[in-house]
Every structure is written in C-alpha cells, then in structure tokens.
C-alpha cells in the first residue's frame, strides 16, 4: 500500500505511521568564515589546567561553558561535604562523577553511591541531596540549562540569596518528574562495559531542553583515520563534550587537530565542521551534549 494512502487510513486512529529517515541532498547556509566562539569559551579546556587554578582547596566550583543555552561547570567537594536537599522547578540537572564518590538521594529512588564513571540524572521538581564519601574529594561535571533556578524545601535553610534577590516563602504545586525510556537515575559506564563487551553507550539524557549521548568504544574498531574528513556540523546547536574515559581526537574547522584526555572539556559552536574519534589502544568514552534533541547532522555529499 502507498504510504500516503496508509497514512490517510490511519489518520485519527490510535496508530501512528513510522517515518524512515531518507538520505537527502539539501541546501544549507554555511558561514563563509569560521564561526567565532562565544565570549569566555574555549575549544579545549584541560582538566589539569582547571585543577591548577584550585590547588589550595578541595571545595571549589568553576563554570567552563555558559553560552546562554547550556551551562557546564566543575564542582569539587571535600569528604563529608554535603549538597542539602533542593530541586530545580523547570529544568533537569545531570552530572558526571570524574573523581571520588558521592552518596546520592533522589526523591522516589533508592539511595546509591556514584563513583568515577557514574552519570546521575535528576528530573525537574524532584528533590535530591548529595554527600561526598570516602577519603578523597569528589569532582563532578554538572550540566543544566543557562540561568536555571534552584529552590529549597521549607525545612532546609537556603544559602545566601543570589545577588539582587531575597528568599521568600511561596506555594508550589510540585510534581516530581519521573523517568522514561530515554532517562534513568544512574549509570556507570565502567560497570556497563565490564558486563557487556559490545557496549557502545547510548542516550542517557533527553528532554525538551537538551540531550546527552554516551559514546564508548575503541579506535581499533574504527576505519583508518582520514585527515581530510571534515565530519559534520549542526545548523542550530552548539556541541560540547566531556572526555569521560581514555582519549578522544578532535578536528575542528579553524583549529589544529588535538587529542583530549579524561576530564577535559571540549566545545564547538553551531555551523562549525567537527570530526571526533576514539584515540589510542585503551577504551575511550565521550559525552556528547547538545541543546536540541536529535539535532541534524549536516555532512558533505559523497563523491560519485
């Protein structure tokens, strides 16, 4: 049956028509010059350099990316340091544990301990609290939308109010958001890979504001490196990555290729060619973070 006829017959029914992606040649606007980076954002920030700025304290936080759409920041906490009970009214927060161990309590879930390689996903309007455990500081990479707000229940004393604001009591019809097939409370990539020799990752965060993919694998399983391969670009979304394990090779329009290591943060603006691949003999993992869900990948046409 012709797809259009089938769609007409199913219109208004409880069924839907699955649409298959078709490779298409299209015209896309591409800036003649390499797009600039937003102010205070760099293509590659090494974790070693970040740590060097905070050598005298275990408790620190530093925003690495804030492009007006998404924010990414590192937070280090000494053993015993707590994040008191709180929630975000309209946004999902997720974080990756790069070092140390964090005891996590999320409303509606059994408490668990997140360690190196763990991802934690906290839906909107859902209470959570954290505590760094063990003998070493914890280091977390935290992502949320820009200008996300944090609220506190009435039984918790809030920290000093943001500049230009005062705390006031209000009433909220709060509904903790749940998890679905695209979001789960906790994943440890090292445990997942240990239990599945074919582990490649997958989607861990997906909502109407952002998406995060776990991309795991080995360079030995890739085709040979083609230095002329530009990769792809996104018409409307920037992309940032946390190198979560091993090493990743990046090749960006306007930049010399580089190899980033575990804990490094990498960023590319929209409309900028970029190619990424696993590097070295060890397994590697990158977290791909975009502001649009399922954003389009625009590639050069294949030569005929």
pLDDT band at 21; cut points 50, 70, 90: confident
In a domain, 7, yes or no: no
Last residue of a domain, one of 117, 145, 173: 145
Residues 124 and 212 occupy one common structural domain? no
Parent domain of 111: 48-145
Last residue of a domain, one of 145, 177, 197: 145
Q: How far apart are CA 61 and CA 83, in angstroms?
A: 13
Quick one: average pLDDT of 103-126?
Answer: 98
Domain count, the chain: 2
* Parallel/antiparallel/unpaired status of strands 186-188 and 101-106: unpaired
Last residue of a domain, one of 96, 117, 145: 145
Q: In this predicted structure, what is the pLDDT of residue 23?
A: 85
Q: In this predicted structure, what is the pLDDT of residue 22?
A: 87
CA distances from 237 to 95, 121, 199, 234, 272 (A): 20, 22, 27, 6, 10
Q: Which of 271, 258, 275 is nearest to 32 (CA)?
A: 271
Nearest-Å Rg of the Cα atoms of the chain is: 21
How many CB atoms within 10 Å of residue 188? 17
Q: In this predicted structure, what is the pLDDT of residue 71?
A: 97
Whether the pLDDT of residue 303 is over 90: the answer is no
Whether the pLDDT of residue 4 is over 60: the answer is no
Q: In this predicted structure, what is the pLDDT of residue 227?
A: 94
Residues 136 and 60 occupy one common structural domain? yes
Please, what is the average pLDDT of the chain?
92
In a domain, 4, yes or no: no
In a domain, 75, yes or no: yes
Edge-to-edge order in the sheet of strand 128-133: 82-86, 128-133, 101-106, 112-115
Residues 135 and 197 occupy one common structural domain? no
Q: CATH number of the domain that 96 lies in?
A: 2.60.120.10
Of how many residues is the chain composed?
304
DSSP code, position 135: S
Q: In this predicted structure, what is the pLDDT of residue 304?
A: 63
In a domain, 20, yes or no: no
Residues 57 and 141 occupy one common structural domain? yes
Angle ∠(256,259,264) on CA atoms, nearest 5: 110
Write the pLDDT tens digit of every residue in 158-184. Answer: 999 989 999 999 999 999 998 998 899
More confident residue, 22 or 130: 130
In a domain, 11, yes or no: no
Whether the pLDDT of residue 15 is over 80: the answer is no
Q: How far apart are CA 205 and CA 185, in angstroms?
A: 10
* Alpha-carbon dihedral sign for residues 184, 189, 192, 193: positive
Q: In this predicted structure, what is the pLDDT of residue 302?
A: 78
In a domain, 191, yes or no: yes
CA distances from 37 to 63, 181, 254, 263 (A): 16, 34, 11, 21
Token pair in block for residue 5: 């006829």
φ, ψ for residue 4, nearest 5 deg: -65, -40
pLDDT band at 7; cut points 50, 70, 90: very low
In a domain, 68, yes or no: yes
Quick one: average pLDDT of 9-25?
Answer: 62
Write the pLDDT tens digit of every residue in 254-266. Answer: 999 999 999 999 9
Token pair in block for residue 103: 């005891």
In a domain, 198, yes or no: yes
* Lowest mean pLDDT across 114-118, 154-158, 249-253, 294-298: 294-298
Q: In this predicted structure, what is the pLDDT of residue 10?
A: 39
């Amino acid at each position: 049956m012709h797809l259009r006829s089938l769609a007409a017959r199913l219109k208004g029914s409880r069924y839907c028509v699955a649409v298959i992606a078709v490779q298409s040649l299209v015209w896309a606007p591409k800036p003649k010059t390499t797009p600039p980076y937003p102010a205070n954002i760099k293509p590659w920030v090494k974790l070693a350099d970040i740590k060097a700025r905070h050598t005298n304290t275990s408790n620190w936080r530093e925003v690495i990316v804030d492009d007006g759409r998404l924010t990414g920041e590192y937070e280090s906490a000494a053993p015993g340091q707590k994040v008191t009970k709180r929630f975000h009214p309209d946004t999902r927060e997720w974080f990756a544990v790069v070092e140390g161990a964090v005891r996590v309590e999320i409303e509606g879930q059994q408490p668990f301990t997140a360690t190196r390689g763990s991802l934690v996903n906290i839906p909107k309007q859902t209470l959570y609290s954290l505590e760094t455990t063990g003998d070493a500081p914890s280091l977390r990479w935290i992502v949320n939308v820009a200008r996300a707000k944090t609220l506190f229940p009435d039984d918790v004393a809030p920290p000093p109010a943001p500049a230009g604001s005062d705390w006031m009591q209000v009433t909220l019809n709060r509904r903790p958001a749940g998890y679905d097939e695209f979001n789960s409370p906790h994943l440890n990539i090292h445990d997942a890979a240990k239990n599945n020799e074919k582990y490649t990752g997958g989607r861990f965060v997906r909502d109407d504001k952002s998406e995060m993919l776990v991309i795991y694998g080995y360079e030995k399983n890739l085709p040979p490196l083609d230095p002329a391969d530009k990769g792809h670009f996104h018409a409307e979304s920037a992309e940032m990555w946390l190198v979560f394990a091993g090493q990743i090779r990046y090749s960006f329009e306007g930049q010399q290729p580089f190899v980033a290591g575990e804990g490094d943060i990498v960023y590319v603006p929209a409309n900028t060619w970029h190619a990424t691949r696993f590097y070295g003999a060890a397994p590697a993992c990158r977290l791909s973070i975009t502001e649009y869900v399922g954003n389009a990948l625009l590639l050069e046409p294949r030569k005929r």
